[in-house]
Structure 1
Amino acid sequence: MLHRRQIHHHLCFLLLVFLSPTNVHCLNREGLYLQRAKLGFEDPNAVLSDWNPRDKTPCKWNGVVCDSYSVVSLDLSSSGLSGPFPSILCRLKNLTFISLYDNFINSTVPDLARLADLPNLKYLDLTGNNFSGYIPESFGTFQKLVVLSLMENLLEGAIPSFLGNISTLKQLNLSYNPFSPGRIPPEFGNLTNLEVLWLTETNLVGEIPGSLGRLSRLIDLDLAYNSLTGVIPSSVTELTAAVQLELYNNSLTGELPSRGWSNMTSLRRLDASMNELTGSIPAELCELPLESLNLYENNLRGELPDGIANSPNLYELKLFRNQLSGKLPPNLGKSSPLRWIDVSTNSFSGRIPENLCSNGALEEMLLIENSFSGEIPASLGECRSLLRVRLGHNRFSGEVPAGFWGLPHVSLLELIGNSFSGGIAKTIAGASNLSQLILSENNFSGTVPEEIGFLDNLMEFSGNDNKFSGSLPGSIVHLGQLVKLDLHDNEFSGEIPNGIHSWKKLNELNLANNEFSGEIPVEIGDLAVLNYLDLSGNRFSGKIPVGLQNLKLNRFNFSYNHLAGNIPPMYAKGIYKDSFLGNPGLCGDIEGLCDDKREVENTGYIWFLRSFFILAVVVLIFGVIWFYFKYKKFKKVKKTIDRSKWTLMSFHKLGFSEEEILSALDEDNVIGSGASGKVYKVVLSHGEAVAVKKLWGRSKLADESDDVEKCNRLQNDGFDAEVDTLGKIRHKNIVKLWCCCVTRDCKLLVYEYMPNGSLGDLLHSTKSGLLDWSIRFKVAMDAAEGLSYLHHDCVPPIVHRDVKSNNILLDADFGARVADFGVAKVVDVKGMCTKSMSIIAGSCGYIAPEYAYTLRVNEKSDIYSFGVVILELVTGKPPIDPEFGEKDLVKWVCSTLDQKGIDHVIDPKLDSCFKDEICRVMNIGLLCTSPLPINRPSMRRVVKMLQEIGTKIEPKNGWERWEIDPLLL
Structure 2
Amino acid sequence: MFTSLQLLLPLLLIFLNLLTTVISNDRQILLNFKSSLHYSNSNLFHTWNETNSACTFTGITCNAVNSVSEINLSDQNLSGLLPLHSICNLQSLQKLELGFNSFYGRVSQDIRNCVNLKFLDLGNNGFSGPFPDISPLNKLQYLFLNQSGFSGTFPWQSLLNMTGLLQLSVGDNPFDLTPFPNEVLSLKKLNWLYLTNCSLGGKVPVGIGNLTELTELEFSENSLTGEFPAEIGNLQKLWQLAFYNNSFTGKLPIGLRNLTNLENFDGSKNNLEGDLSELRFLNNLVTLQLFENSFSGEIPIEFGEFKKLVNVSLYRNMLTGPIPEKIGSWAEFNFIDVSENLLTGSIPPYMCSKGNMQALLMLQNKLSGEIPSTYGNCLTLKRFRVNNNSLSGVVPPKIWGLPNAEIIDIELNQLQGSISPDIKNAKNLAQIYVNKNRLVGEIPQEITQATSLVTIDLSENQFSGNIPEGIGNLKQLGSLHLQNNKLFGSIPDSLGSCNSLIDIDLSRNSFSQQIPSSLGSLPALNSLNLSQNELSGEIPASIAFLRLSLFDLSYNRLTGPIPQTLIIEAYNGSLTGNTGLCSVNAIGSFLTCSSGSGMSKDVKTLTICSMVGLVLLLCLTALYLKKKKKKDEKKRFGRGRSLKEESWDLKSFHVLSFTEDEILDSIKQENLIGQGGSGNVYKVTLSNGKHLAVKHIWNTDFSARNNSWSSTPMLAKRGGRNKSKEFDAEVEALSSIRHMNVVKLYCSITSEDSSLLVYEYMPNGSLWDRLHTSNKMDLDWETRYEIAVGAAKGLEYLHHGCERPVIHRDVKSSNILLDEFLKPRIADFGLAKIVQANVGKDSTHIIAGTHGYIAPEYGYTYKVNEKSDVYSFGVVLMELVTGKRAIEPEFGESKDIVHWVHKKAQRKESFRSAVESIIPEIYKEEACKVLRVSVLCTATLPALRPSMKSVVQMLVDAEPCKLVGIVISKDRSGNKIGVNDAK
1:62 equivalent in alignment to 2:58: yes
Q: How does 1:833-844 map to 2 (within 5 A)?
A: 842-844=832-834
Specify the code of the residue in structure 1 equivalent to 2:232: V
Specify the code of the residue in structure 2 equivalent to 1:545: P
Deviations 1:741-768 (A, max 9, x none): xxxxx99889xxxxxxxxxxxxxxxxxx
- The answer as to whether partners of 1:249 and 1:275 remain within 8 angstroms in 2 is yes
CA–CA distance in structure 2, aligned partners of residues 833 and 112 of structure 1: 41
Specify the code of the residue in structure 2 equivalent to 1:319: L
- The answer as to whether partners of 2:552 and 2:574 remain within 8 angstroms in 1 is yes
- The answer as to whether partners of 1:149 and 1:171 remain within 8 angstroms in 2 is no
1:410 equivalent in alignment to 2:401: no
Instruction: Give the corresponding residue for 1:210.
Output: 206
Q: How does 1:240-639 map to 2 (within 5 A)?
A: 240-261=236-257, 263-285=258-280, 287-589=282-584, 598-600=593-595
Instruction: Give the corresponding residue for 1:741.
Output: none
Instruction: Give the corresponding residue for 1:177.
Output: 173
Specify the code of the residue in structure 1 equivalent to 2:150: L
CA–CA distance in structure 2, aligned partners of residues 796 and 557 of structure 1: 34
Aligned pair in 2 of structure 1 residues 103, 139: CA closer, same or farther (>3 Å)? farther
Aligned pair in 2 of structure 1 residues 489, 833: CA closer, same or farther (>3 Å)? closer
1:199 aligned to which of 195, 198, 211: 195
Structure with the higher helix share, 1 or 2: 1
1:700 aligned to which of 603, 625, 632: 632
Q: Pairwise CA RMSD of aligned residues?
A: 4.9
Instruction: Give the corresponding residue for 2:73.
Output: 76
- The answer as to whether partners of 1:718 and 1:822 remain within 8 angstroms in 2 is no
CA–CA distance in structure 2, aligned partners of residues 803 and 393 of structure 1: 33
CA–CA distance in structure 2, aligned partners of residues 939 and 415 of structure 1: 19
What's the offset of the Cα at 1:113? 4.4
- The answer as to whether partners of 2:328 and 2:351 remain within 8 angstroms in 1 is yes
Aligned pair in 2 of structure 1 residues 156, 836: CA closer, same or farther (>3 Å)? farther
- The answer as to whether partners of 2:131 and 2:150 remain within 8 angstroms in 1 is no
Deviations 1:903-925 (A, max 9, x none): xxxxxxxxxxxxxxxxxx99999
Aligned pair in 2 of structure 1 residues 950, 334: CA closer, same or farther (>3 Å)? closer
Number of aligned pairs? 705
What's the offset of the Cα at 1:948? 11
TM-score (normalizing by structure 1): 0.64
- The answer as to whether partners of 1:587 and 1:594 remain within 8 angstroms in 2 is no
Deviations 1:427-459 (A, max 9, x none): 222222211111111111222122222211112
Report SS of the residue matched to 1:300.
strand
Specify the code of the residue in structure 2 equivalent to 1:52: N
- The answer as to whether partners of 1:509 and 1:532 remain within 8 angstroms in 2 is yes
Specify the code of the residue in structure 1 equivalent to 2:314: L
Deviations 1:186-233 (A, max 9, x none): 232222211111111100001111211122221111111111111111
- The answer as to whether partners of 1:531 and 1:554 remain within 8 angstroms in 2 is yes
- The answer as to whether partners of 1:541 and 1:564 remain within 8 angstroms in 2 is yes
What's the offset of the Cα at 1:54? 3.3
What's the offset of the Cα at 1:43? 4.9
What's the offset of the Cα at 1:592? 5.7
What's the offset of the Cα at 1:389? 0.8
Deviations 1:858-900 (A, max 9, x none): xxxxxxxxxxxxxx989xxxxxxxxxxxxxxxxxxxxxxxxxx
Aligned pair in 2 of structure 1 residues 315, 718: CA closer, same or farther (>3 Å)? farther
Specify the code of the residue in structure 1 equivalent to 2:621: N
CA–CA distance in structure 1, aligned partners of residues 826 and 396 of structure 2: 60
Instruction: Give the corresponding residue for 1:820.
Output: 811
Aligned pair in 2 of structure 1 residues 164, 453: CA closer, same or farther (>3 Å)? same
What's the offset of the Cα at 1:532? 0.8
Deviations 1:672-729 (A, max 9, x none): 689xx95xxxxxxxxxxxxxxxxx68x71118x767999xx9994259999x9xxxxx
Deviations 1:23-55 (A, max 9, x none): x98962322333343444445655445332234
What's the offset of the Cα at 1:553? 1.8
Aligned pair in 2 of structure 1 residues 941, 587: CA closer, same or farther (>3 Å)? closer
Instruction: Give the corresponding residue for 2:654.
Output: none
What's the offset of the Cα at 1:314? 1.1
CA–CA distance in structure 2, aligned partners of residues 941 and 220 of structure 1: 32
1:50 equivalent in alignment to 2:41: no
CA–CA distance in structure 1, aligned partners of residues 792 and 449 of structure 2: 49
1:717 equivalent in alignment to 2:676: yes
Report SS of the residue matched to 2:403.
coil
Report SS of the residue matched to 1:254.
strand
Aligned pair in 2 of structure 1 residues 424, 356: CA closer, same or farther (>3 Å)? same
Deviations 1:45-85 (A, max 9, x none): 55445332234x31111222112321111122234131243
Report SS of the residue matched to 2:135.
helix
- The answer as to whether partners of 1:161 and 1:186 remain within 8 angstroms in 2 is no
- The answer as to whether partners of 1:258 and 1:284 remain within 8 angstroms in 2 is no
Aligned pair in 2 of structure 1 residues 329, 802: CA closer, same or farther (>3 Å)? closer
Tell which deviates more after alignment, 101-110 or 283-292.
101-110
- The answer as to whether partners of 1:112 and 1:136 remain within 8 angstroms in 2 is no
Instruction: Give the corresponding residue for 2:101.
Output: 103
Aligned pair in 2 of structure 1 residues 267, 154: CA closer, same or farther (>3 Å)? same
Aligned pair in 2 of structure 1 residues 817, 433: CA closer, same or farther (>3 Å)? farther
Tell which deviates more after alignment, 292-301 or 350-359.
350-359
Specify the code of the residue in structure 1 equivalent to 2:342: S
Which blocks of at least 5 consecutive residues in structure 1 are unaligned? 1-23, 606-610, 620-629, 631-663, 679-695, 725-745, 751-782, 809-815, 848-871, 875-920, 926-936, 954-964
TM-score (normalizing by structure 2): 0.64
What's the offset of the Cα at 1:269? 0.4
CA–CA distance in structure 2, aligned partners of residues 206 and 44 of structure 1: 45
Report SS of the residue matched to 2:249.
coil
Aligned pair in 2 of structure 1 residues 301, 454: CA closer, same or farther (>3 Å)? same
Identity of aligned residues (%): 29
CA–CA distance in structure 1, aligned partners of residues 387 and 480 of structure 2: 18
- The answer as to whether partners of 1:481 and 1:503 remain within 8 angstroms in 2 is yes
CA–CA distance in structure 2, aligned partners of residues 572 and 217 of structure 1: 77
Instruction: Give the corresponding residue for 1:793.
Output: 787
What's the offset of the Cα at 1:949? 11
CA–CA distance in structure 2, aligned partners of residues 66 and 391 of structure 1: 60
- The answer as to whether partners of 1:331 and 1:355 remain within 8 angstroms in 2 is yes
Tell which deviates more after alignment, 243-252 or 156-165.
156-165
Instruction: Give the corresponding residue for 2:722.
Output: none
Specify the code of the residue in structure 2 equivalent to 1:226: N
Specify the code of the residue in structure 1 equivalent to 2:405: V
Instruction: Give the corresponding residue for 2:621.
Output: 669
CA–CA distance in structure 2, aligned partners of residues 159 and 836 of structure 1: 33
CA–CA distance in structure 2, aligned partners of residues 197 and 291 of structure 1: 20
Deviations 1:90-146 (A, max 9, x none): 23222111112233444544514424522xx21111113344444444436513534
CA–CA distance in structure 2, aligned partners of residues 673 and 549 of structure 1: 31
- The answer as to whether partners of 1:194 and 1:218 remain within 8 angstroms in 2 is yes
Report SS of the residue matched to 2:513.
strand
Instruction: Give the corresponding residue for 1:91.
Output: 89
Aligned pair in 2 of structure 1 residues 943, 227: CA closer, same or farther (>3 Å)? farther
Deviations 1:399-435 (A, max 9, x none): 1011112111111001111111222222222222211
1:139 equivalent in alignment to 2:135: yes
Specify the code of the residue in structure 1 equivalent to 2:68: V
Specify the code of the residue in structure 1 equivalent to 2:351: L
Aligned pair in 2 of structure 1 residues 508, 247: CA closer, same or farther (>3 Å)? same
Which blocks of at least 5 consecutive residues in structure 2 are unaligned? 1-19, 642-671, 684-703, 709-740, 743-765, 768-781, 838-864, 868-945, 960-970
Instruction: Give the corresponding residue for 2:689.
Output: none
